[in-house]
Amino acid sequence: MATREEEELDVDVVLKGEYAGRNDEAVEQLRANGLNVAGEVSPEGVIEGTIRADRLSDLKRLDCVADVRSVFPYIAEEGGDAADERPPAR
């Protein structure tokens, strides 16, 4: 089975102050631009999520975004890894 690897980033997105009370609108914009939202918006206006590295610059340009902090980069494999399918050693 062929695999496809993409660099992904776990990020914290900080919303602009004017989006306080408009969280649903902000989340909709973020999702439409590739962010997989991982939870609720914090009281401080921070949203955690995952995005492909090549979409990060698009995310930073959104009207609702004040800042994007990259927390953890990793390579996501699509199609699985044969090593993941082996039973654990006894």
DSSP string of 4-47, one letter each residue = EEEEEEEEEEEEPGGGTT-HHHHHHHHHHTT-EE-SPPPTTSEE
Task: Determine the average pLDDT of the residues in 14-41.
Answer: 93
Per-residue model confidence (pLDDT) at position 65: 97
Task: Determine the average pLDDT of the residues in 49-76.
Answer: 90
| Residue 90, pLDDT above cutoff 60 | no
4-80 fold:
Alpha-Beta Plaits (3.30.70)
Per-residue model confidence (pLDDT) at position 77: 62
| Residue 17, pLDDT above cutoff 60 | yes
Mean residue pLDDT across the chain = 84
Task: Determine the average pLDDT of the residues in 40-65.
Answer: 93
| Residue 59, pLDDT above cutoff 80 | yes
Per-residue model confidence (pLDDT) at position 2: 45
**Residue 51, token pair as written in the block:** 């995005």
Q: From CA 71, how far away is CA 9, in angstroms rounded?
A: 7
Q: Which amino acid is at 32?
A: A
**Residue 20, token pair as written in the block:** 């306080």
